[in-house]
Every structure is written in structure tokens, then in C-alpha cells.
Amino acid sequence: MSYLEKYNAWRNSPDIDEADRAELASIEGNDTEIKERFISELEFGTAGLRGILGVGTDRMNRYIVRKATKGFAEYIKKAGEDACRRGVVIAHDNRRYSVEFCLETAGVLAANGIKSFIFDSLRPTPELSFAVRELGAFGGVMITASHNPPEYNGYKLYDERGCQLVPELNDQVVAEIAKIEDPLSVKAISREEAGDLITLLGNEIDEKYYAAVASISVTPDVKKNIKIVYSPQHGTGNVPVREVLSRFGYNVIPVEEQCYPNTEFENTKNPNPETDAAYELSYEYAKKTDADIIITTDPDCDRLGVAVKQDGEYKRMTGNQSAAVLLKYILERKAEDGTLPKNGVMFNTIVTSDIGDCICKEYGIETEKTLTGFKFIGDKVYRHELAGDKVFVFGYEESYGCLIAPFVRDKDAVQASLMLCESASYYHEQGKTLIDVLEEIYEKHGFYLDALDNFAFKGIDGGEKIAALVNGLRNDPPKSAAGMAVLEMEDYESEAMIAKGYLKSNVLRFILEDGSWIAVRPSGTEPKCKFYFSVRGKNRAEAEAKLPEIKKAFERV
């Protein structure tokens, strides 16, 4: 069926909502817009669904959500009656249609005889992961597009371990979704019709989650003598982060304009903690109140951004840097009080800085690498717990996400916020800032300069451009960069990397002779290709001098 035929089929279907029919009528004659919406289908990838909101096969809408949920329902039913009875926990963030998509998901599950649990309002991604395990559910669904612009929304699936579906399980769901030819034919029933199949959750899960977060503290009696500016970027972190920090007695100054849920993120230029724009209002608050640190969480509260007052200015820390300081603090304190496990293990990814590995080696902790995606870290946590051979001490990604304790199996910015504030207070008592501690780490282990470049390729041919870029580097890799030889190319689609225990993945990683590396990875959720740089140097100046030359050798865009 051509894209025009699909457009007309949707527009004339008796199963489509009248408002959606009107939206389709509004683009009549606009061939470019129709083609963009119907030339392909929104792909259910390794991170679920994420796309621009709108009516069409390649947009996020109720029909695509219903189709995905129907596939998930068939997967659950194949697991048996007990899986249907245990059911699915569903949570949502503050985005456009997040509430509606939550109810659509519950309605489709109920129509298939599967129980679901929905929260009475928005909740963070880590609490969804926690709730799945706490309630003994068979799975979970999180309605969120994380830090994407307002026109996006998304849909993530979790297994009974509270972990995002690993590829083996995800492929089974995708196979069920593929059997559904017409998403408009998938039925959902109302909460009233569902009866006992839909259970509303209140604050009982919140309280259990807060108690679990409180348990991660390694210096609970530290003096709470710092001022903290906090922004939830209009998202789900506002209640849990402020509640947990308040219970510990921290002096938190909220960025009021960004504390209420808002679908348009109207008071933040960018809700992504990886960008300078996310901190603009926080900087104003910090300067007015002479705050010591700024923390901000992304809309679904699984990532934490940090800025520290240093020499009269507020300096942002990268995800690699803040995680390195947290890791040092946790290992240092546990070593001092004798609770550091002899068989401890830390997890990070192949695109995460090696500075954390150096810190772990100092304390006798093993490091294990995974592919990008916290589901791989969550899976490793589970497997080691099952085997009883290693004890989790920390897990993190460069993209501002970390996990302190594994009662959650995903990134957890509520945990990270508490530990970050605790470590800042602890070092403040020693006359140090978190930046000072970071510099001590560099002095001991060498300087690591991290950089990330995103190249967006919009439109129908965007995927082709990304494929050509990656395959060009794969088939004709640079021989040198910044005067250094490229010693090795790790191709994660190759048999050699699969033999090392990695799942096949379209990622390239190049190792230079000084230990610096470059990783190239097409995004699994957005039309982007990401270039990760970890540049080593004796000091900052040396590393900064190398970076432009290294970029020149690899960024063939």
C-alpha cells in the first residue's frame, strides 16, 4: 500500500477518532507532510517507541500506542495466566498526551484480560522500575520521551525485574507487534469497563520508594550545610527529589518557574541536563542565593545534571565527571567503615569515560563494560545477583545517568540527587568543592577530556545518511589522528566483539595509541549519529589541544 493509500485508509476508517480525522483532513494536498507521516511506520526499537506526536503510521498517537500494547499483551498471554494476573505497572511523565497514552495502554491490556496498575499522577521512570519489583508485576510501561522537545512522546517496556527489555525479549514483543496489520483495529476499553483489571496506585508505593532511597546514604549524619538550587525541568522529579532531600534536612531552593508539570516546558529552553540552556534560570537563582551547587533532573527524572560554585562561578560537570566523584565518595566511605565488598563490581558502558575504571582499580573493585543502554547494566546486576558471585557497588552511563543501589534497575536521578548532595556536604566540611575532588582524581589518574557531538539527519533520507556515515568509517577507518596512530577499531557488529560477550550492535570504537578513544553510534531513539570522544592528556591543556585534530579525522559529515 502506498503512503497515499494508507493516508486515505486512515482518514476514511470508521475506527478513527473524529478529532484525528480532522487533523488528517487538514493536511489534504500536502504531499510532503502526508509522505512524512505515512511512508513508513514508527519503529519499535531497542528503547521502545519515541517519535513526533501526530496522526499517522510514523507518528506517536493512540493507535500506535494501542498497537504496541496489543503486541505486548500477546507476549504476556503467551507467558501464561499467572503473568496476566500479575499484570503491568504503567507510569507517565508530564508530556502532551502522556495521561491519555497511559489510559490507552491500560485499556488495551484490560481488553486482553491483563491486569494493570496506574499511578494517580505523573511519576519518575525509576519509581516505575521500583514499582514493578515491589508489586511483583510481570512488566512495566513508561510513557515518556525523556529530555526530547515538547513535540515528542515515547513508550518504554520493562520486564519483571524492573529492567528495560533486553534485545532477546524485545524481539519477541516486536514479533507480536508485527502481526498486527491494522493499528486502527486494536480495541481499548475504559476504566469503568475494566473494573478490577485496572488498579489505581496512590502514595503507598511512593513511601516505600522513598524509604529505599533513604537507605543508600553512607554518611547520613553529615552536616547539611550547603545551599542547593534544584530544577525538575517541569517534570516528574519535583515531588520525589524535593521530598527525599527535605527528609534529610537539606536546604533546597527550588526553581519555582520550572517546578510545576507543563507539557510545553514553557520556562526552560531545553529540559536536557546535558545542555547549557537547561541551567539558565538555575544560574539566576544560584547567584541570588549564593548557592553552593545546582542540580537538575530531566523530565522523567532518570538523569541528573550538576553545576558547582567554583572560584565565584558556576561550573557544570559532565555525566562522566559527576559519576566519577560519586564513585570515589561511595568507595572511599565504604572503605573507611569496612563495608566495601571484596567481590564488588562497577558497571559502565563502552562510551563511558575510563576515569571510573581507574578509581575502581584503586579500591580493588572490578569493572564490567556493557553496550549503551542501562538495560544492559540492569541485566548484569540481575545475573550476578542470581549467580551470587559479585556485589553491585555502582553503575553509570556518560549521559548523566547512574544507579547507586539496585532496588531500581534503571538510571535513578532521585538516588543520584541524594548522594550528590551528601557528597557535596561531606567534602564541604573538608573545605573542598566537588570540582576540587574531581581535580584530585585527575591529578592521581591523569586528565580525561570528554566530548559528545550529535549530528541530526531529519527527513525520510536521514537513516540513509547515517548508515553511509557509519559504514564509511567502518570500511575506510582513519589511520591516525592528532599525530597518533589508530591502534584498533572495535566493530560491535563483528564476530570478534560478539565472541567477547557483546550483542551485535551498530557501534564503532577506535583506540588511539595514548589510550584516547572515539566511539560512533547511531541513536536508537532519534535520527542522530553520536560521536563520543575520550581524550587523555597529562593535563587539560594537552587534552584540549588534541581534541580538534581528533574530531577532524573522524567527523566526516
Task: Give catalytic residues, as residue numbers.
Answer: 146
Q: Longest Cα pair distance anywhere in the chain, in angstroms?
A: 71
Nearest Cα residue to 399 out of 282, 510, 293, 523 = 523
- Angle of helix 413-429 versus helix 125-134 axis, rounded to 10: 110
**How far apart (Å, rounded) are the C-alpha atoms in residues 123 and 159?**
18
Beta strands in 282-437 (DSSP E): 293-297, 304-310, 313-317, 344-349, 366-370, 391-397, 401-403
**How far apart (Å, rounded) are the C-alpha atoms in residues 326 and 460?**
42
**How far apart (Å, rounded) are the C-alpha atoms in residues 63 and 84?**
22
**How far apart (Å, rounded) are the C-alpha atoms in residues 94 and 133?**
23
Count CA atoms closer than 13 A to 353's CA, side-chain side: 28
* Burial of 25 from C-beta contacts in 10 A (0-12 / 13-18 / 19+): exposed
Pairing between strand 313-317 and 304-310? antiparallel
Beta strands in 60-165 (DSSP E): 88-92, 116-119, 139-143, 152-158
Are 112 and 66 a contacting pair, CB within 8 Å? no
Are 69 and 105 a contacting pair, CB within 8 Å? yes
State how far the alpha carbon of 153 is from the alpha carbons of 28, 286, 300, 472, 524, in Å. 25, 31, 11, 32, 15
**Helices and strands, counts by H and E, the chain:** 20, 21
**How far apart (Å, rounded) are the C-alpha atoms in residues 165 and 126?**
15
**How far apart (Å, rounded) are the C-alpha atoms in residues 272 and 454?**
14
Nearest Cα residue to 448 out of 357, 378, 373 = 357
**How far apart (Å, rounded) are the C-alpha atoms in residues 326 and 548?**
29
**How far apart (Å, rounded) are the C-alpha atoms in residues 389 and 393?**
13
Neighbours of 540 (CB within 10 A): 13
Residues pairing with 491 in the sheet? 508
**How far apart (Å, rounded) are the C-alpha atoms in residues 189 and 196?**
13
- The answer for residues whose C-beta is within 8 angstroms of residue 286's C-beta and 6 or more apart is 229, 294, 307, 309, 314
